């Protein structure tokens, strides 16, 4: 499929959602799971908005820019939260979220 200018942004959203799913799952296995509660919450919200943004971009929706701005904001908050935790899965997720935040902010601008 040809998604034009959205192709890389859609891919960034799908990758971010996958890392958020992985991070939330692995956070639930941490010994101090309560300390990971905000990270898990943000992972879930981030994965959901990433999938929505990818869908809106794939549809070339007139609302894609608005959804992408919200996605960029949530991805940035998730990146910031994950970066606080010194475990590999959170650091990987923080990187994916930051890349997606940057990609979505470029669309929204």
pLDDT recorded at residue 106: 81
User: In 10 A of CB 6, how many CB atoms?
Assistant: 21
97/44 Cα distance (integer angstroms): 12
Which domains occur in the chain, in start order? 4-108 (1.20.1270.360)
pLDDT in tens, the chain (109 residues): 456 778 899 999 999 999 999 999 999 999 999 999 999 999 999 999 999 999 999 999 999 999 999 999 999 999 999 999 999 999 999 999 999 999 999 875 6
pLDDT at site 2: 53
HEC assignment per residue over 27-62: HCCCCCHHHHHHHHHHHHHHHHHHHHHHHHHHCCCC
Report which of 55, 71, 76 is spatially closest to residue 107, judged by C-alpha positions: 71
**What was the pLDDT predicted at 94?**
98
pTM over 0.75: yes
């Amino acid at each position: 499929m040809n998604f034009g200018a959205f192709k890389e942004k859609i891919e960034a959203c799908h990758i971010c959602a996958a890392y958020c799913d992985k991070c939330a799952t692995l956070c639930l296995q941490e010994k101090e799971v309560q300390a990971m509660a905000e990270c898990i919450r943000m992972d879930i919200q981030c994965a959901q908005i990433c999938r929505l943004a990818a869908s809106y971009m794939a549809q070339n929706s007139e609302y894609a820019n608005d959804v992408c701005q919200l996605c960029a904001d949530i991805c940035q908050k998730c990146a910031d939260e994950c970066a606080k935790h010194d475990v590999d899965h959170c650091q990987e997720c923080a990187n994916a979220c930051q890349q997606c935040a940057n990609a979505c902010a470029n669309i929204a601008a």
